[in-house]
Amino acid sequence: MRRASIAVFAALVLAVCFFAGREFRSMRVADGIYPSPGLTEARLLSDWFPPLRGTPGDTPVFVFRGAEPGGAVLVLGGTHPNEPAGYVTAVVLSETLRAARGTVVVVPRANASGYTHSDPQEASPQRYAIPAPGGPRTFTLGARVTNPVHQWPDPAVYVNPGGQALAGVEARNLNRAYPGRADGTLTERVAWAIMALIRAEKIDLGVDLHESAPEYPVINAIVFHERAADIAASAQMALQAEGWEFRLEASPPNLRGLSHREWGDAAGIAAVLLETPNASHGRLKGKTSAALVVEGRDRFYVRAAELGRLFVPFGPEGIPLKERVARHLAGLAALLDALGEASPAKAVVVGGAPPAADIRTRGIGPSLHPPK
Ligand SMILES: [Zn+2]
């Protein structure tokens, strides 16, 4: 009898492991991205750093080159795969953009490994769907950091390439790993490859798209390297005139390893990082669900706003993904205009991408390719 119950229990455990393992592995299949007809080159990040080829850090790069010469802009989504607005904005750009002048390079999933797992102990949904005319498009909600299956173990203390000592888990955070190391961890090699791309493509302006929790002070913000101070300030004024409130946050010179610091210091470009408010990765949220990711409504955040604990207004209508994607698109458009004003020879002129106001009113779906 005892043997029989052990056998039954073992079979149950194996069944749970099988189904859970299959769910976990399913995240290794990357979301489809269907580039716009304006695409000039579909590349991989390893094209700029071949040792990355065939590793879980390699990731698609979409290049849009205009017929007329101009500047070059890098747009990064998915540095933190649990921040969906940056990723979805980069996908919308990849699927709609065309360049008339200058070059735009879009990396939708900067930390590709981070898309192959979820943040532990968060009970996050693995995916969320955006309604689109040809049927819903499904996107992966990944984790903040590289998958430990791909980079293990974490050190007790992580000393990043800039010499800053950080908690061990930050060894897997792409936005602490710049300027990277050619022979370093997977995360450091991804950072190294992005730096190689920036140099080879002679990028003038780099924009890293993020989200932060509504209780975090750096929010609805443009974080700027001092080389991008003029561009960021003139973009902020233009955005304000259009009704978008953005805070300006100077990149602290002693905070090493972050894109807005190291892209500027190591490659000499104008570097900025944009933050939008995401209730689904804050600490005050209720249930983490796909609806929270997309609709951004949470009664605990409404209460926190009433108590004056948040750095953004948060009402019962929440802050939906379409509002956050619209904000990123508005920020990008203003930064491109500011780049052209600051140095006309470096102007980048694009078309095809939806205006922020359209995303706000019609949603994201009409700007996405139908699912295949
Ligand atoms: Zn982030």
**251 Cα: distance to centroid of ligand 1 (angstroms):** 14
Q: Separation of 80 CA from ligand 1 center, angstroms?
A: 5
Compute, in angstroms, the gap from residue 182 CA to the centroid of ligand 1.
Answer: 23
Secondary structure in 3-state letters for the chain: CHHHHHHHHHHHHHHHHHHHHHHHHHCCCCCCCCCCCCCCEEEEHHHCCHHHCCCCCCCEEEEEECCEEEEEEEEECCCCCCCHHHHHHHHHHHHHCEEEEEEEEEECCCCHHHHHCCCCCCCCCCEEEECCCCCCEEEECCCCCCCCCCCCCCCCEEECCCCCEEEHHHHHCHHHCCCCCCCCCHHHHHHHHHHHHHHHCCCCEEEEEEEECCCCCCCCEEEECHHHHHHHHHHHHHHHHCCCCCEEEECCCCCCCCHHHHHHHHHCCEEEEEEEECHHHCCCCCCCCHHHHHHCCCHHHHHHHHCCCCCCCCCCCCCCHHHHHHHHHHHHHHHHHHHHHHCHHHCCEEECCCCHHHHHHHCCHHHCCCCC
Cα of 211 from ligand 1 centre, angstroms:
5
* Distance (Å) from CA 17 to ligand 1 centroid: 32
- Calculate how far, in angstroms, residue 273's C-alpha sits from the geometric centre of ligand 1: 9
pLDDT of residue 372: 82
> In angstroms, what is the span from residue 139 Cα to ligand 1's centroid?
17
Q: How far is the CA of 79 from the centre of ligand 1 (A)?
A: 7
Asked if 45 contacts 190 with a C-beta cutoff of 8 angstroms, the reply is: yes
State the distance from the centre of ligand 1 to the C-alpha of 67, rounded, in angstroms. Answer: 34
The rounded Å distance from CA 222 to ligand 1 centre is 13
Residue 242 has a pLDDT of: 96
How much distance in Å is there from the Cα of 334 to the middle of ligand 1? Answer: 21
Answer positive or negative: Cα dihedral of 51, 54, 56, 62.
positive
Q: For residue 277, report the distance from its CA to the centre of ligand 1, in Å.
A: 11
- Going from the Cα of 78 to the center of ligand 1, the distance in angstroms, rounded, reads 8
Ligand 1 center from residue 8 Cα (angstroms)? 45
Q: Which among 270, 153, 288 is positioned nearest to 204, based on CA atoms? A: 270
* Sites in the chain below the pLDDT cut of 50: none
CA 31 to ligand 1 centroid distance, Å: 20
**pTM score of the predicted model:** 0.96
Q: Is 317 exposed, middle or buried (0-12, 13-18, 19+ CB in 10 A)?
A: exposed
Q: What is residue 115's predicted lDDT score, i.e. its pLDDT?
A: 98
For residue 270, the cross-strand partners are 205
Characterize the bridge pairing of strands 205-212 and 68-76.
parallel
Cα of 175 vs centre of ligand 1, distance in Å, is 8
Q: Residue 316 Cα, ligand 1 centroid: separation in angstroms? A: 25
Ligand 1 center to 11 CA (angstroms): 41
366 closest CA partner among 35, 33, 134: 134
Tokens of 243: 């009704």
Quote the ligand 1 centre to 89 CA distance (angstroms). 14
Query: How far does residue 345's CA lie from ligand 1's centre (Å)?
Result: 32
Determine the distance separating the centroid of ligand 1 and the alpha carbon of 84, expressed in angstroms.
10
The pLDDT of residue 1 is 66
Kindly give the distance from the C-alpha atom of residue 365 to the centroid of ligand 1, in angstroms, as a whole number.
Answer: 24
Given this model, what pLDDT does residue 133 score? 86
Distance 112 CA to ligand 1 centre (A): 14
